[in-house]
Amino acid sequence: MSAQIIDGKAFAADLRTRIAGEVARLRAATGRAPGLAVVLVGEDPASSVYVRSKGKATIAAGMLSFEHRLPADVSQDTLLALVARLNADPTVDGILVQLPLPRGLDESAIITAIDPDKDVDGFHPVNAGRLATGLPGFVPCTPLGCVMLLKSVLGDLSGKDAVVIGRSNIVGKPMAQLLIAESCTVTVAHSRTRDLKAVVARADIVVAAVGRAQMVRADWIKPGATVIDVGINRTEAGLVGDVDFADVAGVAGAITPVPGGVGPMTIAVLLRNTVVSAARRDGFAVDL
């Protein structure tokens, strides 16, 4: 058997086209375009690349991009003052502080200072609580993108056995919450899980968010299962996921590649969240 390859790049491109359409509609109705403010502290090369791609994608969707670059030795108070300014700025619908922050800055205090209704990354504890209790809010972009991909291949997820490997606040935990909301039976595995192979073998849906190159092997996978690989690992052979793609693709029913699977969804969903924020603030409904 050979798995269907889930084309995240194509899905994300289609989502971005739909986003641009909704931006145009909002603009026509309100006279303003949604705005996303991205804050980058320091000069971490990977973070700089992400911030640049986010800015470009924001502008390509017809939205406003506000980039704020601060030196690595910026004080906590200066950063908090910037967040307060962005919270109060009516042209800003979404605020994203690029993580990780340099040492000496209190990441949790900065995230908590963002207005939850502009927290398009969905990392604020209020948004984590809203997700856990089924209230509307913002959901972290990567797991929301994973659910969109899952629904694109499986349709209704209700009743499926799902195993999420990883329990981070930005991927594993919100992923599990989203799958519960889709009526899956969810198991969350992590570094202390006993017999991970046997746990994964039960799953109709496997989401790997670990950060260990090609850890998930073909003999862990139930034939026909859908496998979503969130991992991004740089190896001598190039970029690989947490799943041994070549072998698992021979057993799974559908699988995301790395690159070209989950990765492209993250920025597309960030734009989506920003448009949703603008629409909510202006009292409109968008279909994204």
Tokens 């509609």 map to which residue?
25
Closer to ligand NDP by Cβ: residue 74 or 111: 111
**Residue 38 in 3-state DSSP?**
strand
Note whether 262 binds ligand NDP by CB under 6 A.
yes
Residue 222 is a catalytic residue: no
**Binding of residue 194 to ligand NDP (CB under 6 A):** no
Residue ranges in 131-150 that form contacts with ligand NDP under rule CB under 6 A: 142
At 10 the three-state DSSP class reads helix
213 binds ligand NDP (CB under 6 A): no
209 makes contact with ligand NDP (CB under 6 A)? yes
Output 171 or 186, the one with its CB closest to ligand NDP. 171
Closer by beta carbon to ligand NDP, 85 or else 190: 190
Judged by CB under 6 A, the residue of 41, 57, 114, 171 near ligand NDP is: 171
Looking at the DSSP assignment, which residues form a beta bridge with residue 66? 37
Stretch that binds ligand NDP, among 55-63, 85-93, 102-110, 189-197 (CB under 6 A): 189-197
Smallest separation (angstroms) from ligand NDP to the CB of 229: 9
Distance of closest approach, residue 212 Cβ to ligand NDP, in angstroms? 6
Which of 60-94 are b and which e, b meaning 16 or more Cβ less than 10 Å from the residue's Cβ?
Answer: ebbbbbbebebeeebeeeebeebbeebbeeeebbb
Q: Which stretch binds ligand NDP (CB under 6 A): 77-85, 123-131, 206-214, 246-254?
A: 206-214
CB 209, CB 171: distance < 8 Å: yes
Q: Please give the Cα distance from 247 to 215 (Å, whole number).
A: 12
Q: What angle do CA 20, 285, 67 make, to 5 degrees?
A: 45
Residues β-bridged to residue 238: 235
Instruction: Work out the burial of residue 132: count CB atoms within 10 Å of its CB; fewer than 13 is exposed, 13-18 middle, 19 or more buried.
Output: middle
56 is catalytic: no
Binding of residue 183 to ligand NDP (CB under 6 A): no
Q: Write out the residues near ligand NDP by the rule CB under 6 A.
A: 142, 165-168, 170-172, 189-193, 196, 209-212, 230-233, 262-263, 266
Q: Which residues are catalytic?
A: 54, 98, 121
